[in-house]
Every structure is written in C-alpha cells, then in structure tokens.
Amino acid sequence: MYSKNRTHLPILVIGAGIAGLSCAKTLQEAGKTVIVLEAQSRLGGRIFSKYINKDDCFDLGASWIHGIHHNPIWEIVEKHSINTHVLNYDLSNYIHDNRRPFSDIEQKEFLYYVQKVQNCITQMPQGSALDAVQTCLAKLDYKGNLFTQSKLKALLLSLFEYTANDPFATELESLASNYSSHEGYFEGDEVIFPEGYHQIIDILSQSLNIKTACHIKKITLNTDCVEVTDTQNITYTGSQVIVTVPLGVLKKRPYLFQPPLPKSYLNAITQIGFGSFNKVFFELEYPLPFLSHSSTKSISTFYWFEKKLFNILDLSSVYNKPIYLMLFGGKCAEFIDNATDDDVWTFISKSLPHGEDLQPHKKLITRWGIDPFSYGSFSFPTFNHKAKYIKILNTPIQDRLFFAGEHCSMNYAGTVHGSYLSGKKTAQNVLQSLSSIKK
C-alpha cells in the first residue's frame, strides 16, 4: 500500500520536550517533513518556565546547564546570546543538628571522609548503594577527634542518603552502587537562566510543525507505515515514529503500542529507574538568619534536622530578594506529590532552623510524580542496572519505531543535554534507515 512511497510520508515525533524538538529539528534540517505531536498545550515537557508577576521567572523543571565545557546546550546559549547566571553548588556549607555551623576544620575533615567513603564505594561490586555505603562505613577507620566515630558515620550515611535523593530522585536502597559513573555532567561552571530555560525550547521549536493538545491513544505499526491515533480519533500516518515521552509515561502506558512491544523492551522500561524530584521555591520578607553564619559564599547549605539531611539554596543573588529553593527526591518528593501546599510548608518550616514562625510571601511547589504527562522527573540507575537496557531502547523496531529521551542516553541520563543528544542521535538513525530504504 505505502511501500513505494514510504520515504515521502512525514516522520512523526511524539513529544515536544527537548528530545522531541532536537530530533524533529535535525530531521527537518535534513529536508524531511516532520509532524510533532504534543499532548500538552505548552512545549518543553520537563522544561517548564513560569513567570510570577511578570518579574520573576522560575524554572519548575530543569534549571541548570550542568557544566558548560563542550555542552551542546551551552553552544545554543552562546550562538543566541542568551543571558545566564553562574550558580555552582558543588561547594556547600554544613550546619550541625544543634544549629551550629561547621568550623572550617570540621568541614575539611568531614569532606575528607566523604571522599574516603566514595572511593571505597567505587571499589564495591554492583548492587545496592545502601549496602555499599554501609559496608564502607563499617570498614571506616576514623582517626580524627572533631567527631565521635558514631557521629561521623551517622553524618556520612545521611549525606549519601541525600545524594540518592539529589541528583538521582530515589532512595539509597534502590540506587546502583556505581551511581557516580552515571552522573553524566560536563566540566566547567553550572549556570541557570534568569529569564527561563524555555528560551532553549523557543529556539528549537521555531518553524516546526507542532500539534499541541494531541493526546495519543494508540501507535500502530503496520506492514509499511506507522499510524498514530489520538483521543479525537484523528489518525496521522508516517513512515516512522519517534516516541520521546518520559519514561514514566512508558511505564504507565505500555498499552499504547499495537502490536505490543517485545518483551525485551518492556523489561528495559520496567528495569530502568524513574523517580520523582520536586522543587519548593519560597520568598521571605527577610533573609534567613542561620545562613548568615555560613563559612563560605556557597549558595548551598546542608543542615541536619531529626537525623535527616536537608539542603537549601539561597537564590538571592539571582532575584535580588530573599528567595530560596529546596530540592526533594525519593520519599520526600513522593510526599510532596500527594500533599497540600499547607502540609508541604508545615513540613519545611518545621525542618528549618527557627522556621516555625516564617510566613512566605509566595511559594511554588512542583508535583512531577503525579503529572500525567511525565509521572516523575528523570531516570536513574537501579541496583540491577544493565547497559543492555539502554541499548535495547536505542534499537528501532522494524526500522519504524524509535525511542529518544534522557532515559535513552548511555552517558548523560537524567540531564537536559542527555535528552537533547539522544534526540539528535535518534534523528541520525532515522535518516540512515530512510537512506537504506531508498537503496
């Protein structure tokens, strides 16, 4: 029916996040006709910039370019002269659970043992990160006198528990012990967008044929074409389809595909981790007093409350007013997903030193875990993670069904640049497939 003219059919891209847009843009620049189908009324997916009072822009999804050296997102920034703000938070302040700041010597010693445990973890066989951390802590030989050994180990365990939350959006027992090899950041400064990450989306979406509010209910692989049907029973016919929806959607809706996906693909979708990661922005009348005692100029401050580690980012330098950001992954993020704004603020204010009496002027709370267009924030390596799962998702089905997104990135999962590069790589694979059909 379509075999002779298959290369003249449009290519269908499902999802107008950065993977879908970079894929569609690459295909269009190669001279192909592309239709992008997006379920939401906005573009960007997990890149979502929101203005408050037309003055302050908050990135509710992705915020940072994680390392600007050789980063393809930074290349777009430079080409289009987009304004950015350096906001590194690799160096942090630490505050004891009695609300006393670490002295310089305490912080130096603590970070020394953090690195010591991290080095130990990298030597452990792959498995649960929790098991690896506990094994390394049991073997730790503490020779200092600034902490008791039990106290130091408790602080270290809580820090590694937080590492599972941020940047991996999960808990330590679910995370792979070799998580550090999956972080996927570039070298150099980390920067944010004072006027919003959506500027990158605006650039990539220019001149593309995008249909929004297009809810897909079925993706059918026929003998010589692909048909995508939406909930209005409109069917789009294409030569190939690239599915760039978040992994959370694939986990929730594997029934989209007709015929069903092969078992190896379903297994890969099941086995790759995907977690919820939420942000809470809040503005106060006055700066938080306990941050004024910080021993460094870092924006990031770690503090302990009831044996749990929290991190607060001071964004005053960005907004020129007392605005703060707290990041939550794993169980805390799941709590936020299902809690009211008042309950979330009660939880935060109780954890902040002297925070019970704080009344924010405004607050913004994300709930990515219950967002029906994502069902989470980004992927992470589970304790039984295997490279073959990523390879499977990068293998097309019958040269007509392709996947792209940060969860398909071997080296940069969980990042914007990983998603962007995955989209471009998949576009190249589609072009190669079309070229072989012509021959």
- At 108-130, the pLDDT tens digits run 999 999 999 999 999 999 999 99
- pLDDT tens string 366-405: 999 999 999 999 999 999 999 999 999 999 999 999 999 9
Half-sphere exposure for 409 (CA within 13 Å, toward CB): 26
Looking up tokens 């967008």 gives 193
Helical axes 198-205 vs 72-80, angle rounded to 10°: 80
Least confident range of 125-139, 250-264, 287-301, 328-342: 287-301
d(CA 313, CA 17): 26
Q: Would strands 240-243 and 11-14 be described as parallel, antiparallel, or unpaired? A: parallel
Instruction: Kindly report, residue by residue over 33-61, the tens digit of the pLDDT.
Output: 999 999 999 999 999 999 988 889 999 99
Alpha-carbon dihedral angle through residues 195, 427, 182, 94, given to the nearest 10 degrees: 0
Q: How many CB atoms lie within 10 A of CB 70?
A: 11
